Amino acid sequence: MKTNSFKILVAATVLLCWVRAHANFTNTFDSALPPEWVNGCQWSPGPADWPIGGSLQANATNGGWVLGDPSPKCIFNETQRADIRSMINAGGGHVRFSILVDGASFNASAQWWHINVVGNSAVGWTQINEVVNSWQNAGDRVLRIYTFKTNFAGLGWTDANSTYFEMNIGSNSDPANPIHYWIDNLAVYSDAPAVTPLVITAQSYNPTTREMTLTWTSEVAATYAILHSANVTVTMTPVATGIASGGAQTTTTVVLPAGNTGFVRIQKE
């Protein structure tokens, strides 16, 4: 007796499948100095008027050019290094943090002061001078907040194979005037668009009507096509195109061509 079986295989395809997911990370220094931060810094409850708590504080006892071992240095740990590599691959990598000073950052003298930032990696030492170039009036107690932001290239973080990533933050001032600034709200992030993996979450097939209903994870505002072929050796042809995203998930029903076997693919257009 001849049996009439029908086999359908389904597959999901994303056109951007080589784009790797990337992970951002932050540090708000709320309760302790993270172990990756070494040299010339300590945990601090933060400036008196800083409403969001603990910070990292530079604690060099001398002024002058302070950059490198006497100044705050972050040797990003392996988890963070993996995240930075993923962001280099994804593109759009940035580093942002706040630099804070108030009266407790300075001695009683009126004085000039600068902040400099350096990235280090396999690419080498990459320095950005005078991200702050400011003046402190004698006796000024006011909290001031400066936001530093650069893309990864600004720190030389362009080699996704680098085995290390470091950042140094340093000050420059008169040698008699150490600068006890704070650092807070470090964010290392990529603004590259996130890629939603296309995963089929439900499927059903009615061999009488040849209707196949598929549900998959989708991206808002994307459109999708359903392709079909009788076997994998021939080019798949669309059975439906321009299927509007239903949001985080999309469900659609298509009528498949007649045949005892077939392959179906969902493709982001």
CB of 187 to Ca ion, least distance (A): 12
Residue by residue, what is the 3-state secondary structure of the chain? CCCCCCEEEEEEECCCCCCCCCCCEEECCCCCCCCCEECCEEEECCCCCCCCCCEEEECCCCCCCECCCCCCEEECCHHHHHHHHHHHHHCCEEEEEEEEECHHHCCCCCEEEEEEEEEEECCCCEEEEEEEEEEECCCCCCCEEEEEEEEHHHHCCCCCCCCCEEEEEEEEECCCCCCCCEEEEEEEEECCCCCCCCCEEEEEEECCCCEEEEEEECCCCCEEEEEEECCCCCCCEEEEEEEECCCCEEEEEEECCCCCEEEEEEEEC
From residue 25 to residue 54, what is the string marking binding to Ca ion with x (rule CB under 5 A)? ---xx-----------------------xx
Site string for Ca ion, 51-80 (x = CB under 5 A): --xx--------------------------
Name which of 26 and 129 has its Cβ closer to Ca ion: 26
160 burial (CB, 10 Å; 0-12 / 13-18 / 19+) is: middle
Interface stretch with Ca ion, choices 121-129, 137-145, 178-186, 229-237 (CB under 5 A): 178-186
Residue whose C-beta lies closest to Ca ion: 28
Question: Cβ of residue 182: shortest distance to Ca ion, in angstroms?
Answer: 9
Least distance between Ca ion and beta carbon 27 (Å)? 8
CB of 24 or CB of 223, closer to Ca ion: 24
Binding segment for Ca ion (CB under 5 A), chosen from 21-29, 88-96, 99-107, 194-202, is: 21-29
Q: Which is nearer to Ca ion, 29 or 113 (CB)?
A: 29
Q: Which is nearer to Ca ion, 102 or 184 (CB)?
A: 184
Cβ of residue 28: shortest distance to Ca ion, in angstroms?
A: 4
For residue 55, the minimal CB distance to Ca ion (Å) is: 5
Which amino acid, 131?
V
| Residue closer to Ca ion, measured from CB, 132 or 183 | 183
Please, what is the minimum distance in Å from the beta carbon of residue 186 to Ca ion? 9
User: Which residues are CB-neighbours of 225 under 8 A, at least 6 positions away?
Assistant: 238, 240, 241, 242, 243, 266, 267, 269
Toward Ca ion, which CB reaches closer, 30 or 211?
30
- Tell me the number of residues near Ca ion by CB under 5 A: 5
Measured distance CA(255)–CA(248) in Å, rounded? 24
Q: Minimum CB separation from Ca ion for residue 120, in Å?
A: 25
Task: Please select the residue that binds Ca ion; options are 184, 196, 227, 264, rule is CB under 5 A.
Answer: 184
- Kindly tell me which of 152 and 182 has the beta carbon lying closer to Ca ion: 182
Residues that bind Ca ion (CB under 5 A): 28-29, 53-54, 184
